A = this chain, B = another copy of it.
Amino acid sequence: MEYKEAKDKFISTWGSLGSLWGINKAMAQIQALLFISTKPLSMEDIMEELKISRGNTSMNLRQLMDWGIVTKTLVAGERKEFFTTEKDVQELARIVAKERSRREIKPVIKVLEEVSSIKNDGSEKTKELIKQTKALHELTETMDVMINKLVDQKQNWITKSVLKLFK
């Protein structure tokens, strides 16, 4: 496999994976492109490389910046803006985990809390609703705590401390 083929394969695979972890294809592909680029890319570069429109590029870059994954960089002597992505995979994982916790898990926890604390009128179905949503609440919260603690361990958290636990 040559460079071009490998690159395209990486970008398209990462792109379709993106839609699974909650971001759209273009957003994931832009990130992938920046991730393997040796230098900052302009909007033109990205549009051309991925064959997507200016508007699409602009909107998705904005979202990536909202996530904190991509940043604008100045290139000496150039008027237009250039973009780079976080290059360290572990830092990337930390950012994604934090954002997903904030955007998705926290709101669900809130609803589960509300639902599981309704008044128990003694009926079978109310008891079951309370019991099951409580269990779900506990699980979700524990996972959320785990994720956040995990990603707070800056140095080699995965390879060092966690893996050996489950040898």
Contact check, A158 vs B146: say whether CB atoms are below 8 A apart. yes
- Contact of A74 with B by CB under 8 A: no
Count of A interface residues, CB-CB < 8 Å? 54
Residues of A contacting B: mostly: helix
Residues of chain A at the chain B interface (Cβ within 8 Å): 1-3, 6-7, 9-10, 13, 17, 20, 22, 35-38, 87, 89-90, 93, 104, 108, 111-112, 114-115, 118-119, 121, 123-126, 128-129, 132-133, 135-136, 138-139, 142-143, 145-146, 149-150, 153, 158-159, 161-163, 165-166
Contact check, B37 vs A128: say whether CB atoms are below 8 A apart. yes
Contact check, A158 vs B142: say whether CB atoms are below 8 A apart. yes
* Residues on the B chain within 8 Å of A3, using CB: 118, 121, 123, 125-126, 129
CA distance A139 to B89 in the complex (A): 7
Contact check, A38 vs B115: say whether CB atoms are below 8 A apart. no
18 A-B pairs besides A2-B118, A3-B118, A6-B114 with CB distance below 8 A are A1-B115, A3-B123, A3-B125, A6-B115, A6-B118, A7-B115, A9-B115, A13-B111, A13-B115, A17-B104, A17-B108, A20-B104, A37-B125, A37-B128, A38-B125, A87-B132, A89-B135, A146-B158
